[in-house]
């Protein structure tokens, strides 16, 4: 019976020869994930804020041209004056240049564009980290679901043999009908659990497919020689301090507060005067409109300065300043929330790693104990000091411990990645390190 369970587990859990590892799946997701692609497009759009802000400080040049046909009929009220009529064309070509010399709002807008670009860089980096975590989560969710199916199948095979033995023992009178009913109930329950596990596996595969944009491949399994070590450094406060300095959510919040403060300054610039230099060159021509007369050509060159001082805009500028101040306070609170959230995420991930090591070791010991307990219970059944129900309970405990151990191992690896992400240090190199712990079968 033990041999049947082990063979079933090995058959289901073995990865195919063409299994994809975590790094391959991540690179597929990097090329196909719609969320990450959208973040990349958002980042590319944000890069254009800088040239747009700079353009407000540079000169603007405009060229205009016009031509028109005139049909003029002049009628005099003086009987002695005959009046006149004529048709003629007039044309004009104008070139104008305006250079802002002092516009407070434009200067601040340019600084805001720098802030927006910095914020977009942090947001895109956060999307890259989020992709790593999402891929790893989906990858290990599939592995855990596969383990659950394998454990359920192995348990069903073991209970099936127990059920057959209970039926034989009842037929020969060495067991009661209760033993047979207990084995049958356990078998039926295990069948239901196996169906639920298979359904969960399909869902987890579809989740992975959504990220990589293709059918989920066979996956490499987590190796047995996974190194279990506490965080380095193994001091929670140092990780929290690192998160305060480098956590990307905090950096995004800081950029948001900087932008909001600049928005206050920009709106206050609405009370400042503006000074522009301008130059205009105009070349125009016109017919005389009188038969036999001569037309005229005119060239005009203008250069000068223009000063404008806003005096009153109906209170709009003051209202915009108050609005900007309120938004600045909101950005300050958002930053504080980002700091608290980053600290909480860091502490949770740190505990997930440090406690994960202890939990895995404890479950490894529990697995050994559960196997010994099952062996002893089987021996007790043979000599008549244990019942069939005791064997079924020992089997249930063994398979539950196996699943809990697998889940603890996956959670430990995910906590490592989440800790790096909370500290703002998660990169592809960390994924390569985790990938080295996988085994291709």
Does some domain include residue 20?
yes
> In this structure, are 354 and 371 located in the same domain?
yes
Does some domain include residue 314?
no
> In this structure, are 98 and 133 located in the same domain?
no
Query: Is 273 buried (19+), middle (13-18) or exposed (0-12) by CB count in 10 A?
Result: exposed
349 or 287, which is more confident: 349
> In this structure, are 243 and 392 located in the same domain?
yes
> In this structure, are 343 and 220 located in the same domain?
yes
The number of beta carbons lying within 10 Å of the beta carbon of residue 129 is 21
> In this structure, are 293 and 363 located in the same domain?
no
List phi, psi (to 5°) of 293. Answer: -85, 180
Q: Is the pLDDT of residue 16 over 80?
A: no
Does some domain include residue 313?
no
> In this structure, are 287 and 407 located in the same domain?
no
HEC string for 280-331: EEEEEEECCCCCCCCCEEEEEEEEEEEEECCCCCCCHHHHHHHHHHHHHHHH
Radius of gyration, alpha carbons of the chain: 39
30 or 189, which is more confident: 30
The mean-pLDDT minimum among 25-29, 120-124, 125-129, 162-166 falls in 162-166
> In this structure, are 14 and 83 located in the same domain?
no
pLDDT of the residue at 292: 55
> In this structure, are 130 and 248 located in the same domain?
yes
Does some domain include residue 358?
yes
30: alpha, beta or left, given left = phi > 0 and alpha = psi -120 to 50?
alpha
Where residue 21 sits, what CATH number does that domain have? 1.20.1600.10
Answer yes or no: are the C-beta atoms of 280 and 300 closer than 8 Å. yes
| Residue 208, both tokens | 């992975």
> In this structure, are 44 and 193 located in the same domain?
yes
Q: Which helix (H) or strand (E) holds 87?
A: strand 84-102
pLDDT of the residue at 171: 74
Q: Is the pLDDT of residue 289 over 70?
A: no
| Residue 197, both tokens | 């596990």
**What pTM was computed for the model?**
0.86
Does some domain include residue 199?
yes
Domain that holds residue 244: 2-56+104-271+319-439
> In this structure, are 160 and 285 located in the same domain?
no
Give every CB contact of residue 156 below 8 A, 6+ residues apart in sequence.
Answer: 187, 190, 191, 194
pLDDT of the residue at 2: 41
Structural domains in the chain (count): 2
Instruction: Tell me how far apart the alpha carbons of residues 194 and 127 are, in angstroms, rounded to a whole number.
Output: 36
Answer yes or no: are the C-beta atoms of 49 and 116 closer than 8 Å. yes
The helix/strand/coil state of 385 is coil
Mean pLDDT computed over every residue of the chain: 89
- What is the band of 430 on the pLDDT scale with cuts at 50, 70, 90? very high
pLDDT of the residue at 441: 61
Where residue 86 sits, what CATH number does that domain have? 2.20.200.10
% of the chain residues with pLDDT over 70 = 92
> In this structure, are 9 and 47 located in the same domain?
yes
Q: Is the pLDDT of residue 51 over 60?
A: yes
> In this structure, are 13 and 121 located in the same domain?
yes
Q: What integer is the mean pLDDT of 263-280?
A: 96
pLDDT of the residue at 382: 82
CA 24 to chain centre: 19
Q: Is the pLDDT of residue 287 over 70?
A: yes
pLDDT of the residue at 174: 62
Q: What integer is the mean pLDDT of 39-61?
A: 97
The mean-pLDDT minimum among 170-179, 225-234, 287-296, 335-344 falls in 287-296
């Amino acid at each position: 019976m033990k041999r049947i369970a082990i063979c079933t587990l090995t058959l289901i859990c073995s990865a195919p020869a063409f299994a994809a590892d975590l790094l391959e799946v991540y690179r597929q997701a990097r090329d196909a994930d719609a969320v990450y692609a959208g973040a990349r497009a958002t980042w590319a759009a944000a890069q254009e804020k800088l040239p747009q802000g700079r353009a407000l400080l540079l000169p603007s040049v405009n060229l205009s041209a016009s031509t028109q046909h005139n049909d003029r009929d002049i009628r005099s009220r003086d009987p002695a004056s005959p009046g006149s009529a004529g048709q003629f064309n007039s044309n004009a070509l104008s070139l104008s240049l305006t250079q802002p010399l002092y516009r407070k709002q434009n200067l601040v807008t340019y600084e805001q564009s720098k802030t927006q670009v910095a914020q977009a860089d942090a947001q895109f980096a956060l999307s890259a980290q989020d992709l790593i975590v999402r891929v790893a989560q989906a990858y290990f969710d599939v592995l855990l679901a596969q383990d659950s199916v394998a454990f359920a199948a192995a348990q069903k095979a073991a209970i099936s043999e127990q059920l057959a033995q209970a039926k034989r023992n009842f037929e020969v009178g060495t067991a009661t009908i209760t033993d047979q009913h207990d084995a049958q109930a356990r078998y039926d329950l295990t069948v239901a659990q196996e169906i639920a596990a298979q359904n969960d596996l399909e869902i987890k595969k579809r989740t992975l497919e959504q990220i990589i944009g293709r059918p989920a491949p066979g996956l490499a399994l987590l190796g047995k020689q996974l190194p279990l070590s506490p965080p380095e450094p193994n001091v929670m406060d140092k990780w929290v301090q690192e998160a305060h300095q480098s956590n990307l959510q905090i950096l995004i919040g800081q950029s948001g507060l900087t932008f909001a403060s600049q928005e206050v300054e920009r709106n206050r610039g609405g009370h400042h005067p503006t000074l522009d230099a301008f130059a205009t060159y105009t070349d125009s021509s016109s017919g005389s409109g009188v038969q036999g007369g001569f037309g005229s050509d005119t060239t005009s060159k203008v250069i000068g300065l223009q000063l404008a001082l806003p005096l009153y805009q109906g209170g709009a500028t003051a209202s915009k300043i108050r609005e900007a101040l309120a938004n600045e306070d909101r950005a300050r609170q958002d930053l504080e929330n980002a700091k608290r959230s980053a600290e909480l995420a860091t502490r949770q991930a740190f505990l997930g790693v440090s406690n994960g090591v202890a939990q895995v070791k404890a479950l490894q010991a529990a697995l050994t104990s559960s196997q010994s307990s099952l062996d002893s219970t089987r021996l007790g059944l043979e000599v008549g000091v244990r019942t069939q129900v005791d064997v079924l309970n020992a089997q249930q405990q063994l398979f539950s411990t196996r699943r809990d151990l697998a889940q603890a191992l996956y959670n430990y690896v995910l906590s490592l990645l989440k800790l790096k992400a909370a500290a703002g240090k998660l990169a592809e190199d960390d994924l390569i390190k985790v990938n080295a712990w996988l085994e291709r079968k």
